Structure 1
């Protein structure tokens, strides 16, 4: 089945946002990949007849931890079910890749969601619908800068203010920005906002 011009534009935008997301999560992504134009995207992956979603697969690692790798899958199925989820998990296991992002066209079926929860006891797979990735939420003017703290930075923060992590204000892991950064329960994010005096101030949130 051919891909329409509108679908190509959606795929182009979604893939660009995913590349930005990976970079913001600390993965090694070339600027040239993020800055790819729509025309270059078509030249690389094909036009509305030849473009295959499976060809959009992304595989990269974190610069400071080459063993920390991630896959981004773009399933061709309109509605992803259990077989596709298991096929992705099978590839991850074979290649020793423990993190993944699944970009789907429509919401997962209930059995597929259950399969994701099952494999996430071993792997970590985030799921985004294409529509969620057409724009980068972190570039919105009303979204302040978020920085996920490392375990060491979190430890220093708690020691500095002599508080327990559970005493910090909370952010849900289901929050759109938390999902963008792939936050897990127990992590702490620093949120930097501008004040009315044009200075900045930091607040912290604990992911639950």
Structure 2
């Protein structure tokens, strides 16, 4: 599972998802757009539109799947609830992984029901090579005794471990940067899949008149 607002989905998200699947030997990666993200302001584009852009982006990539389950729930989109629903769906022996970026990892100790995350899945942190600051105390307590140093050790159990993983490609693309360019009418070609650009243009998303 790779969650996010995907506002909009871009090549940085997609490349990370593909490299996660390869590095961990996953059957597939679920990309799960948040309906009401609990840790940031609500996106300016509707959940349905963000899901539609995601589906357009990965139509030709069988290893990636769009999952809209958080759009069906009222209230904040808590990852603990999403992982619990995935565990119920896939069964007790499936190896489930939630991947998060390093910035999100540093705040993991503050997440809703953070300890429940490890009840249902492993957590894989996409490392930032330039970041070596001490971990917050709540985070240290949360991950104590959970960290492993290899994919093999991670996959020895259905869940409960944490692995820090460096990916081969780190594309410095941010959705904020993409939205700013779209609002100015600047080109976003090669930042987004062409199918996503066509969807944005067809529905008038992110332009000043749409906000």
Scaled by the length of structure 1, the TM-score of the pair is 0.31
* The structure with more strand, counted as a fraction of residues: 1
Based on CA coordinates, which of the two structures has the bigger radius of gyration?
1
Q: Which has the higher contact order (CA 8 A, sep 6+)?
A: 2
Scaled by the length of structure 2, the TM-score of the pair is 0.31
